[in-house]
Structure 1
């Protein structure tokens, strides 16, 4: 007999991690076979790239339940020498989603809720360190916890990003960047609105900016101009003073001054 509750839970797991329902039929077939462990594979395209996934399932040694413990992710773009591979582990239903895996292998950072060795949950930005191979043919993961001091909201506030003026758009922007997405925004610079792409860079406590062709842009070229802000404020104060009108001097005061 198959544990249907366990099957339904695993199906929900797959959906949560971004694999949809494409593997449900194969998953059910493998569980019915009552193997001790099995693998499922799928491919997800991303523009000119694609992600190949191998999902690992294992049966409990003390019950009829199966667990989705990890998956292998391979980012390919047609050039085998540029393929990037990483194993992502799942701990009590918490782990990296398929889209987040793509973003990490693209070199971006993702903010996640993690579980420490003591079982306590905590939040941290993670990034694949491609300069540090691990013993499992992948790479070590760097972590930047809250103590590291990266404040994404503060970092993006240094730029005249149009979406920041709307609370809902701002929330959506922050959420997308935390998932590691390369997010399109509109920057209003010198009274000209231009589309750019931005990504979170917790390691350097800033963001990266790219033009419409995804070429790197110098941050100082699109930062808020503090001098312009000061000049605008001074101009506004002078105009306000002018609108209120300057106090007029009395004739007697003028006579005294002329003596």
Structure 2
């Protein structure tokens, strides 16, 4: 057995999100020297079951094996039909199992990718469930850096408590970039309200859910973005309206009364 090849594959499997549980099976299959083999792995995210099949193929010129792809079957408790997608492995920044699950849930993931010329670039990717390729996989939509979605800037428009702490802010941004539906503490009318957010690069915004994971409509989300600043504006407007209601004559009488009192 090629030990260096085994170590490389072991790390590749581990850092693609499958952990170390498959090491034994991986080694056994390499020792058999079969042309191809598949390893199976199950994971659960809440009540959602993710069944993965990892595909390996032996080189025709040497004893080296390659981890080519893994197929994911997503079965949701409240959905009779399952969803399938194959994710391909390359030398770059592979899509992890959790990121694959997030993509299949419809959320966007931020990745460092490599183009045909070998140049690296950053892009948000998201599944297009309305279009499939020749192999039956859902196509991936890309939102490159020049698309104009700045996650940090979008977050700053919302009254989120975690943004006040640099470490918590970084953790929040990193979690959203992985495609997670992330909890966040919103400051509303002086109260702390737990809600959930996800990055939505297509519309250059956030999608916000309440603590029961019910999606807020556009109007509610806009109010959240205005936050406590809106309350301040409303208070200022009330004061201005009060002054307007006095009218020119009333204001003149008040001035005269204050003048007599001073005399």
Same fold (TM > 0.5): yes
- Which structure 2 residues correspond to residues 61-100 of structure 1 after superposition, within 5 A? 61-78=60-77, 81-100=80-99
Q: 1:222 aligned to 221, 224, 228, which one?
A: 224
Q: Name the residue aligned to 1:56.
A: 55
| Secondary structure at 1:72 match in 2 | strand
Residues 184-212 of structure 1: per-residue CA shift (max 9 Å, x gap): 01000111110000000001000000011
Q: What displacement does 1:29 show?
A: 0.7
Q: Quote how far apart the aligned CAs of 1:15 are.
A: 1.0
Give the RMSD, CA atoms, in angstroms: 2.0
What are the Cα deviations for residues 77-119 of structure 1, in whole angstroms up to 9, with x where unaligned?
Answer: 2466431111111111531000000100111000001111111
The aligned residue for residue 174 of structure 1 is 173
**In structure 2, distance between residues paired with 1:88 and 1:160:** 37
Q: Does the alignment pair 1:42 with 2:41?
A: yes
Match of 2:258 in 1: none
Q: Structure 1 233/62 Cα, relative in aligned 2: closer, same or farther at 3 Å?
A: farther
Q: 1 CA distance for matches of 2:199 and 2:151?
A: 7
> Unmatched 5+ residue regions in structure 2?
238-262
Q: Partner of 1:114 in structure 2?
A: 113
C-alpha distance in structure 2 between counterparts of 1:232 and 1:97, whole Å = 48
SS in 1 for 2:42: strand
Per mean C-alpha deviation after superposition, the further-off stretch among 115-124 and 192-201 is 115-124
Structure 1 length normalisation: TM-score?
A: 0.86
Compare the two structures and name the one with the higher helix fraction: 2
2:164 is the alignment partner of 1:165: yes
Counterpart in 2 of 1:237?
none
> Which residue of 1 is the match for residue 151 of structure 2?
152
- 1-side partners of 2:232 and 2:148: how far apart? 27
Q: How many positions carry a matched residue from both structures?
A: 235
Q: Secondary structure at the match of 1:207?
A: strand
- Paired residues of 2:55 and 2:67 also in contact (CA < 8 A): yes
Which residue matches 2:138? 139
Q: Which segment drifts farther, 221-230 or 60-69?
A: 221-230
CA distance in 2, matches of 1:28, 1:92: 21
Q: Which residue of 1 aligns with 2:241?
A: none
Alpha-carbon separation, structure 1, partners of 2:211 and 2:39: 37
Are 2:216 and 1:210 aligned?
no
1:14 matched to 2:16? The reply is: no
Q: 1:233 to 1:9 in 2, by over 3 A?
A: farther
